Structure 1
Amino acid sequence: MPKSLEKTRKKIAKKKGNITALHENSRDSQRLRRAQMRDDKLVKVASLRRKNDQPLIERAAYFQEAIRENDGQPLEMETIRALIQTFVHQHDEEFSKLKKERRAGRPASTREDLLRMKIAADEKEHENGFYLPDLTEADNVVLLNKWEGAWSYLSTLKWVRISSNGQVQQAKFPPKGES
């Protein structure tokens, strides 16, 4: 949590004593406003970063669950490809349900549009190379099994891209606009 405002308020209080009233455009009130805007900006940037990181965290959690179901053992390529296929098509059921519920001639709902875009993006990524932790290496599987949901821990894992035809490429974490 940003502490700029607290520090600024403390410095002004040290200089002036107890702050009960400041002139609207005094230097001290301007310092407080700048500190508040800086804190607000930092909170906004942090929430945006968390929002952007969330899909990769969910993806890692999905494959971690698959590893745990396999008793922490590395997976075969066919199993991994089946897991990727289920991950890519996880929203199909909800999408078709929303599509059926919509009356004829009505525009698609926002949720339906979002699901359509997400499904299309996942399918395109699956064609070009699906980004996931390497589940064929025993060391990487152990690290993924120990993962507790922290973003910073994901950089210790080895990541790969597996295309729909089975081609495997090493990848770096985090993906820099490649997904």
Structure 2
Amino acid sequence: MVSNNKKHTMKSIKNKDMIHPSSRKAQQITRVVLRKDRLEQRQKNRTAHAHTRTERHLWFRHAVPEDVVSLTRPQCHALVEEYLGRYNEEYQSLLALHRPGKVRPKAAREDLLAGLMAQERQEYASGFEIPDFTSPKNLKLLREWDGDVNSMLRIKVIRVHEPKQTSKMAASIAGAAAAGLATSIASDKSSMAMQE
């Protein structure tokens, strides 16, 4: 039996008014509706991700002074730390509303900020995408950018890791390399001993 890979739409399904709930036509309609919902959800996710990236690029564009031609890696890390701390004052003011001994529920904004700050910190630990400020050409492109999502692809981005995480990763890589070197030396010695 040949599989039917054709994507059905609601327009292509005929007589959808009078169908049996267990029929093939009912299954087709169910698949069409589920596919439509899935595609709409993907589009919403893409739009939300593009909106987040656009806001981030705009924030970094306005944070870099106009007279700066390029930035070094430590300056990029300082800029990312400033970006991650942009909600600290608002969060602290929401925490100050809690009085000792009084039961007061958390504000919705407080939970939202706490989740957002934790998510961004985690992203910085695993790799935070920012425009490449080390390239003068890329910085010029960022300053000329009009905020359009489609033209944002011209701007080169780099992934920076939290310096603490970078040192941990380097130590683990060095440890693994040393362990691998030690095992290779031991295997070389054992193979030489067998040859003798």
- Separation in 2, partners of 1:123, 1:20: 51
Structure 2, unaligned runs of 5 or more: 1-6, 167-196
CA positional deviation for 1:61: 2.0
- Separation in 1, partners of 2:81, 2:105: 29
In the alignment, what sits opposite 2:27? 30
In the alignment, what sits opposite 1:8? 9
In the alignment, what sits opposite 1:109? 107
Whichever residue aligns with residue 37 of structure 1, its letter is L
Aligned length: 154
Q: 1:85 aligns with which of 68, 81, 87?
A: 81
In the alignment, what sits opposite 2:147? 148
Whichever residue aligns with residue 35 of structure 2, its letter is R
CA distances 1:46-103 after superposition (whole Å, capped 9, x unpaired) = 3234445544332222112335x517x5343375454323211110111012112234
State which structure, 1 or 2, has the greater radius of gyration over its C-alpha atoms.
2
Tell me how large the CA RMSD over aligned residues is.
3.6
When residues 35 and 122 of structure 1 are mapped into structure 2, their CA distance, relative to the original with a 3 A threshold, is closer
- Separation in 2, partners of 1:159, 1:70: 20
- Separation in 1, partners of 2:129, 2:27: 47
Given that 1:22 and 1:28 are in contact with CA atoms closer than 8 Å, whether structure 2 keeps it comes out as no
Q: 2:66 aligns with which of 70, 73, 87?
A: 70
Given that 2:77 and 2:160 are in contact with CA atoms closer than 8 Å, whether structure 1 keeps it comes out as no
- Separation in 2, partners of 1:109, 1:96: 12
CA distances 1:121-142 after superposition (whole Å, capped 9, x unpaired) = 5456657765311112122123
SS in 2 for 1:131: strand
- Separation in 2, partners of 1:11, 1:124: 46
When residues 140 and 23 of structure 1 are mapped into structure 2, their CA distance, relative to the original with a 3 A threshold, is same
What TM-score results when the alignment is normalised by the length of structure 1? 0.62
Given that 2:87 and 2:113 are in contact with CA atoms closer than 8 Å, whether structure 1 keeps it comes out as yes
- Separation in 1, partners of 2:37, 2:122: 36
